[in-house]
Amino acid sequence: MKLNKILAMILALVMVFSFAACGNDEPANDPDAPVVGGEEDAEGRILNVHVTAAIDSIDPALTSAGDDFEVIGQMVEGLFQCDASGAAIPGMAETYSVDENGTWTFNLREAYWSNGDPVTADDFVYAWQRCFTIPAEYVFLFETAGIKNAAAIIAGEKDVTELGVYAADEKTLVVEFDVPCAFFDSLMFFPVFYPVNRAFAEECGDLYGSAPEYYLSNGPFELSAYTPAATEFSMVKNEDYWAADEVELAGLTYKVILDSQQAYLAYQKGELDVCVLSSELADLLKSDAEFLATESGYLWYMSPNVSLGGAMANVNIRKAIGMAFDKEAVCNNILRNGSVPADFCIPIGLATGPDGLDYRESSGITYNEYNVEEAKKLWAAGLAELGTDAVELTMIFDDEESVKLVAEFIQQELQTNLEGLTITLQPYPKKQRSDLMKAHDYDIGLCRWGPDYADPLTYLDLWTDGYTHNYGDWHSDEYMEILGKIKTVEYAVDPEARWELIKDAEQIIADESVIMPVYQNCNAALVKSDVSGIEFHAVGLNRVFRNVTIG
């Protein structure tokens, strides 16, 4: 590395710097936990991992954040896990079969929780039913999966005990369906489908997931030090994991560092092995031997609150806003990490269709391409329809460095190109921004969505009636009819016809400018040269450390 030059540039940007600032919230310490900070304990190395936001929850039924899911996935394993390519492979399910009615039967392997209890079929039954009773934000995935009675339970028409999952015996789990699901196996390594030890969780009550003594693992690692929203927490290798012999790491330490320069300096001091890079640092370090850029399925977009009426309910205003800022400049001048402009609502590389093509290639649908002159015409038409010559909006967004820079650029572009538009910027902590948008208490929100599974429905479902992340509360009878058809048996068994319906649904999103896409994210990071085996995924878990080796 050209350390002197890079550090000089960073230090010029940072006038006052103190590492103490990122360590004030010390988690409870486990005396048996291995030494952290790049050191090596008696049984192996500790991987020190950077995350850019605090973890909201490690209860798979209580969170909707990608980083939270990543952390949970290091400790708990579902019926399937994913391999390095992202394909589903058996996890807790040693074998499985599917009968002529589409019913899946899973035979669980001999596996144990970190307290020595065996992992049983009832652990899955309990965990899945628990998602309905809490209810989990991602409970809709049970309906997406087509599991018997899931939709009726969500609608309040049936009791959770009628969910199509039951334990035939201690090691045999049976799942029944209303509608077959072509991507069911890949859904199973999403954390909302993970097992939970019934007796343990019921004993913990509301404390479940709040500290190591209130959490059990059946995966590669178990929690050793943690408090909610801590700036640092750690895991140790789970010796009760069924494939513990394959896990070489002695443990993981997660460090929450919001400031990218501070994280980079921690990386240089050996306190991090994996460091997430801001756009500025990615641009500086892209030629470094330890630089790594990985594709991401995350789509960043502006979500208009249609439910408010007024400007955001006007389709010409929405289209004008979506076309009046330079997405290439966002990617090339601000992010500089390989991210690409998005003129679509379903990302590149998400899913391959029955034609063998990536969905984006076969769809060909684009909208909101950068075009200032067309945007001005649409803006004038929208203002005339509203009977006004000025619009004032507040844009909310996460208080992360790169997000703030993008928001400021969009604000300047829109106010310059659309006469009469005033945009006030309001950053919030991620959870607060999310809560405001879920409550439809905002004008326009800059946000992102990461795919839960490898199918366009993981995005198209976002704009259905009553869905938690339909932030703007947009509605279309035609759209709901198409989405309903996509999920029927008729189209589940006819992939070509299903793919055409998916295109029809995306076209409605484009015509209505339901969201204003900005870019598809690419993740930039530094990874120590002696670290290998980290698996990066565009779908489901962002990073998997089960197979990491150091040295």
Residue ranges per structural domain of the chain: 19-261+528-550, 298-522
Q: Quote the pLDDT of residue 198.
A: 96
Distance from C-alpha of 183 to C-alpha of 371, rounded to nearest angstrom:
38
- Comparing CA positions, the residue from 334, 539, 316, 282 lying closest to residue 446 is 334
Let me know: does 470 contact 460? Beta carbons within 8 Å: no
pTM passes above 0.85: no
Q: Is 271 helix (H, G, I), strand (E, B) or coil?
A: coil
pLDDT band, very low/low/confident/very high, at 44 (cuts 50, 70, 90) = low
pLDDT at 408 over 60: yes
The larger pLDDT score, comparing residue 506 to residue 39, is at 506
Q: Rounded to the nearest 5°, which phi and psi values hold at 272?
A: -130, 140
Q: Quote the pLDDT of residue 400.
A: 86
- Comparing CA positions, the residue from 275, 265, 344 lying closest to residue 523 is 275
pLDDT at 107 over 80: yes
Q: Of the ranges 105-114, 183-192, 497-506, which one carries the lowest mean pLDDT score?
A: 183-192
Q: Quote the pLDDT of residue 31.
A: 39
pLDDT at 496 over 80: yes
Distance from C-alpha of 137 to C-alpha of 62, rounded to nearest angstrom:
7
**Predicted confidence (pLDDT) per residue in 346-371, tens digit:** 999 888 889 989 999 999 999 999 99
pLDDT band, very low/low/confident/very high, at 489 (cuts 50, 70, 90) = confident
**Predicted confidence (pLDDT) per residue in 506-539, tens digit:** 999 999 999 999 999 888 899 999 999 999 987 8
Q: Quote the pLDDT of residue 539.
A: 80
Distance from C-alpha of 100 to C-alpha of 40, rounded to nearest angstrom:
52
Given the DSSP bridges, would you call strands 291-304 and 444-449 parallel, antiparallel or unpaired? antiparallel
Per cent of the chain over pLDDT 90 is: 71
pLDDT at 24 over 80: no
pLDDT at 312 over 70: yes
CATH architecture of 298-522: Roll (3.10)
Q: Quote the pLDDT of residue 196.
A: 98
The stretch 251-264 carries a mean pLDDT of: 94
pLDDT at 27 over 60: no
pLDDT at 6 over 50: no
pLDDT at 26 over 80: no
- Comparing CA positions, the residue from 367, 283, 353, 387 lying closest to residue 320 is 367
Distance from C-alpha of 107 to C-alpha of 60, rounded to nearest angstrom:
23
The overall average pLDDT reported for the chain is 89
pLDDT band, very low/low/confident/very high, at 40 (cuts 50, 70, 90) = low
**Predicted confidence (pLDDT) per residue in 131-172, tens digit:** 999 999 889 899 989 999 999 999 999 999 999 999 999 999
Whether domain 19-261+528-550 has CATH 3.40.190.10: the reply is: yes
Distance from C-alpha of 532 to C-alpha of 84, rounded to nearest angstrom:
12
Q: Quote the pLDDT of residue 4.
A: 42
The larger pLDDT score, comparing residue 443 to residue 489, is at 443
Q: Of the ranges 24-28, 97-101, 303-307, 483-487, which one carries the lowest mean pLDDT score?
A: 24-28
The stretch 90-110 carries a mean pLDDT of: 94
Q: What's the burial of 512, exposed, middle or buried (CB within 10 Å: 0-12/13-18/19+)? A: middle
**Predicted confidence (pLDDT) per residue in 162-217, tens digit:** 999 999 999 999 999 998 887 898 889 889 999 999 999 999 999 999 999 999 99
Q: Is 283 helix (H, G, I), strand (E, B) or coil?
A: helix
Same fold, 19-261+528-550 and 298-522: no
Residues 6+ apart with CB under 8 A from 249: 44, 45, 46, 47, 221, 237, 545, 548, 549, 550
The helix or strand, by DSSP H or E, that contains position 536, with its residue range, turns out to be strand 535-536
Residues 6+ apart with CB under 8 A from 183: 453, 454, 455
The helix or strand, by DSSP H or E, that contains position 88, with its residue range, turns out to be strand 88-90
Q: Of the ranges 10-24, 54-68, 300-314, 405-419, which one carries the lowest mean pLDDT score?
A: 10-24
pLDDT at 319 over 90: yes
pLDDT at 299 over 70: yes
